[in-house]
Structure 1
Amino acid sequence: MADSALPALLVVHDRGSATAWRILSAARGLCRVVFLCEPRNPAYQAELEQIGGHAEIADITGLGEAEICRLAENLGPAGVITFSEYRLRLTAAIAEHCGLRFHSRATAAALTDKYRQRQALSDADVQHTGCVLVRDPDQAATALAELGTPAILKPRHGAGSVDTCLIDSAGELRSRLAEFTADGEREFVLEEFLRGDPALTGPGWADFVSVESLVVDGEPRTAAISGKPPMVPPFRETGHVLPAPVPAETAAEVERLAQAAVQALGIRHGITHTEIKFTPDGPRVIEVNGRLGGFIAEIVQRRTGYDMVAAALRLALGLPVTDPDPARLYGDRVTFQYLLVPPAGPLRPGPPALLDDLGDLPGVDLVDVSPPADWHTDWRRGTLGAIGTVYGSAADHTELRALIGQLAERLDKFWREPDVPRTGAPRLIDTVDNSIDLSIH
């Protein structure tokens, strides 16, 4: 257990960008972590069981927001944080109740609501992007008449490209909405299609980057800008590349846009993950996430030695933070993570040895594969459908592009289509043409 003399930091825990073990490691000697969570939640029950007596857990199962806030107050916290998209609003409520640093309720609402976020960015003259709400199939024709085609359909509240697809007609929109709401009523947004300009990143790379920022008293400081390998249709991210394959002047332009978006949303403290797409009209904001991005802490630490989880904890406690060393960020090699995201449609896996052999490729340091027990995959799960991750580095972006091409080629051999017709799969887009929008994790 942690030293009781250390300040107590509440971590509102759920599936997110940092595991309980990772948080405890970063907190060593800094603070005493108390996880506010549902210990029997199947999304992370096994993870909590593994840490056993190494952590303090406050069970919030079945409690309402007001009850959780009172529980949090009684714990005497010096700070509160979450690494989960699903807990941003609750964490904001706790922070307000206890007088702690975090997003305001209004900011947390904009960060977790794609429609409200687009409105906030427009009101601040940061970016005007067409976006309308759609709740049922009968609204399809009206929504498309306002935006035109193609358009992007996304859940109003969500992450990881879950249920995100390209729409070309009112009939397709009605069909997708009926499919996505079959299990219950949900709200979606239909957004203007942002046509990409892959020239800035070059062939073999997706036409967007993410900006990781440390926000201190309302001032965002860029920690890293990461590039991306090509996406898997319809809109599924396949990893991160550090540094991004963009020239310095482009990186500076992206950084300015991310900072303007962060400030427009009223973010005062913490870490943000902002996705920015390159278009013929210049960089455009895809989405601002009000927490550490998935996989980002690992690749930044592997690249620079900088611990972004520890930085997030320090920011929550109001302690000073340093920035990653630029000399190490832009060193002599390119670091990558490559997610093993299955293609869309009915699939049958090939011999497992095809995955084992991924580790034999020059530049690959680790292959971590954890496929589902029944090997069931579904494009609607977005990046959550990935069956593993490949970690490594290359001498430069050209060498890495070739390595990722080899990884993709071996994965194509691993997946086999069963002898049944495709049903329910989205219209596929040539992944060489990176002119598609993305909203993730």
Structure 2
Amino acid sequence: MTQQEKAPEVLFVGGAGRAPLSIDVVATAIAQARSRGMVTRLMSHAADIPHTRRAVELADAVDAIDFTDADAAVAWSAELAGGDPRPRVVFTGREPALGPAARMAEALGVAGNPPWSVDTVRNKDACREFLAGAGFRQPAVRLCRDRAEAERAMGETRGPWVVKPRVGGGSLGVSKVSDPAGLPAALDLLPDEGPFLVEEFVEGEEFSVEGLFLGGTPHVLAVTAKRKLPPPYFVEVGHSLPAPLPEPVTREVTETVAKALTALGLRFGLFHVELWLTADGIVLGEVHSRLAGGYIHRMLAHAVPGLEMFGAVFDDALGSPPAAADLSCTRAGASRFFTPPAGRLVRVEGWEEAAAHPAVVAAELRVAPGDVIPSYRHSEERVGALAVGADTVEEAEELVGRLVESVRFVVEPADGTAP
């Protein structure tokens, strides 16, 4: 038996999505696994494989599996393990794969989050109810199945409100409603006809907390400040870490998040928790048992010297100490997404120069001349981003702002849009 045939294997459930960010996450994770001598295997939808070649070509094996079918994924992994009993790590960074990955890990008897914990945090109303019952501040929320139930929920609660899908991410289908008359338009934005939520709009500055579990205990890497477009939509267009907060506030935030994660039973992998700082204290937002988007993984790699975030998860799953014992955030990072005017793109000026800046840790441009740029309603409509590393968060914010402003999108009217 060769050394590779004995080596532990990482199962990347869901493989990579088609977005450049998702491909970069999986490629980075594969590189960190291979540097540890691990074998890597992607489980991906057959239709995604041709569109994710950068990640696919790095993996040792690729299997076309419907990973959203938990029963089929568990059966496939059991058959794999039965014929090849090497140690395994089950990992995913994709929202639709979180539930199946938890069930696979449980069936294989390897490190993972309890399926009930993952199901709870993925169903946003269930998570709200659980955390409120555990003593954490939460926005009031109602589960609705049609317009009549939503109107009743608005009549029984104080506005403004947020209408959102019960499950999902990337602000898809999420909108603010200031008056009941705006409800029909908000319902039209929902991605499907399933149950949805009407939630209290929280007044306060929004942050997120990024971290990982080691030995079942949550370790916070950074608190992240957010920039968003004005309502009615909630598209994030910038991140900065570590957030410039007073030390006592940062400590309270990290302690609150750690207690919430522990109460929810989460114990493995990466986490991304959203929250608001309000006049009445911390109000927890959505909890995710996965990493954040927005190239935060690239910024963390700069801000926490020596950190290999994915590698640390793999080490922990196999009972090894993390490669970087000190997980302190001693530097900083910032990202900005481009917010060009809507219209048909004629050309982009200054992109090559901005992307080539030595402080840039991630650069993405998703449009080319001839493409139509929409007015943003959710994160998947963003056309590109730059992320930088620096010694301080103030330096990072100034630099990334300057670089983004140096890139000019020249557009012309298209299909009723105006430049």
TM-score (norm 1): 0.81
Alignment match of 1:188 (pick from 193, 196, 206):
196
Runs of 5+ unmatched residues, structure 1: 197-206, 424-441
Instruction: Give the letter aligned to residue 338 of structure 1.
Output: R
Alignment match of 1:33 (pick from 15, 37, 40):
40
- Once the 2 structures are TM-superposed, how far is the Cα of residue 223 of structure 1 from its aligned partner? 2.0
C-alpha separation in 1, matches of 2:12 and 2:108? 14
Change (3 A) 1:401 1:293: closer
> Is the 8 Å Cα contact of residues 334 and 400 (structure 2) preserved in structure 1?
no
What corresponds to 1:370 in structure 2?
366
The answer to whether structure 1 residue 258 and structure 2 residue 263 are counterparts is: no
What corresponds to 2:169 in structure 1?
159
> Is the 8 Å Cα contact of residues 345 and 372 (structure 2) preserved in structure 1?
no
What corresponds to 1:119 in structure 2?
129
What corresponds to 1:338 in structure 2?
336
Instruction: Give the letter aligned to residue 75 of structure 2.
Output: R
C-alpha separation in 2, matches of 1:318 and 1:177? 47
Instruction: Give the letter aligned to residue 21 of structure 1.
Output: A
SS at 2:143's partner residue?
strand
Q: Which moved more, 1:385-394 or 1:185-194?
A: 385-394
Higher relative contact order (CA 8 A, sep 6+): 1
The answer to whether structure 1 residue 69 and structure 2 residue 74 are counterparts is: yes
SS at 2:266's partner residue?
coil
What corresponds to 1:427 in structure 2?
none
C-alpha separation in 2, matches of 1:21 and 1:96? 25
What corresponds to 1:203 in structure 2?
none
What corresponds to 2:103 in structure 1?
93
Q: How does 1:352-363 map to 2 (within 5 A)?
A: 352-356=348-352, 358-359=354-355
C-alpha separation in 1, matches of 2:367 and 2:287? 30
Identity %: 25
What corresponds to 2:320 in structure 1?
319
What corresponds to 1:431 in structure 2?
none
Q: How does 1:416-435 map to 2 (within 5 A)?
A: 418=413
Instruction: Give the letter aligned to residue 180 of structure 2.
Output: A
> Is the 8 Å Cα contact of residues 20 and 48 (structure 1) preserved in structure 2?
no
What corresponds to 1:297 in structure 2?
297
The answer to whether structure 1 residue 241 and structure 2 residue 237 are counterparts is: no
Q: Deviations for 1:271-321, whole angstroms, at most 9, x for unmatched residues?
A: 211122221112221111101222232111123231111112223334332
Change (3 A) 1:390 1:128: closer
C-alpha separation in 2, matches of 1:364 and 1:83? 23
Q: Which moved more, 1:51-60 or 1:140-149?
A: 51-60
SS at 2:371's partner residue?
coil
> Is the 8 Å Cα contact of residues 9 and 89 (structure 2) preserved in structure 1?
yes
Normalized per residue, which structure has more strand?
Answer: 2
Change (3 A) 1:194 1:422: farther
C-alpha separation in 1, matches of 2:198 and 2:285? 13
C-alpha separation in 1, matches of 2:134 and 2:141? 16
> Is the 8 Å Cα contact of residues 212 and 225 (structure 1) preserved in structure 2?
yes
What corresponds to 2:119 in structure 1?
109
Q: Deviations for 1:146-179, whole angstroms, at most 9, x for unmatched residues?
A: 2221111111111111121111122211222134
SS at 2:6's partner residue?
coil
RMSD: 3.1
- Once the 2 structures are TM-superposed, how far is the Cα of residue 414 of structure 1 from its aligned partner? 3.0
Instruction: Give the letter aligned to residue 409 of structure 2.
Output: F
Q: Deviations for 1:50-85, whole angstroms, at most 9, x for unmatched residues?
A: 633742123214994333212201222522111111
> Is the 8 Å Cα contact of residues 103 and 115 (structure 2) preserved in structure 1?
yes
SS at 1:414's partner residue?
strand
> Is the 8 Å Cα contact of residues 2 and 32 (structure 1) preserved in structure 2?
no
What corresponds to 2:224 in structure 1?
226
Change (3 A) 1:121 1:378: farther
> Is the 8 Å Cα contact of residues 7 and 38 (structure 2) preserved in structure 1?
yes
SS at 1:129's partner residue?
coil
What corresponds to 2:8 in structure 1?
7
Instruction: Give the letter aligned to residue 336 of structure 2.
Output: Y
TM-score (norm 2): 0.84
Change (3 A) 1:53 1:348: closer
Q: Deviations for 1:111-158, whole angstroms, at most 9, x for unmatched residues?
A: 211111101111111223201112322323202112221111111111
- Once the 2 structures are TM-superposed, how far is the Cα of residue 419 of structure 1 from its aligned partner? 8.1
> Is the 8 Å Cα contact of residues 139 and 283 (structure 2) preserved in structure 1?
no
- Once the 2 structures are TM-superposed, how far is the Cα of residue 330 of structure 1 from its aligned partner? 2.3
C-alpha separation in 2, matches of 1:410 and 1:279? 35
Runs of 5+ unmatched residues, structure 2: 82-86
C-alpha separation in 1, matches of 2:59 and 2:396? 39
The answer to whether structure 1 residue 385 and structure 2 residue 381 are counterparts is: yes
> Is the 8 Å Cα contact of residues 160 and 177 (structure 2) preserved in structure 1?
yes
Instruction: Give the letter aligned to residue 200 of structure 2.
Output: E
> Is the 8 Å Cα contact of residues 229 and 235 (structure 2) preserved in structure 1?
yes
Instruction: Give the letter aligned to residue 237 of structure 2.
Output: T
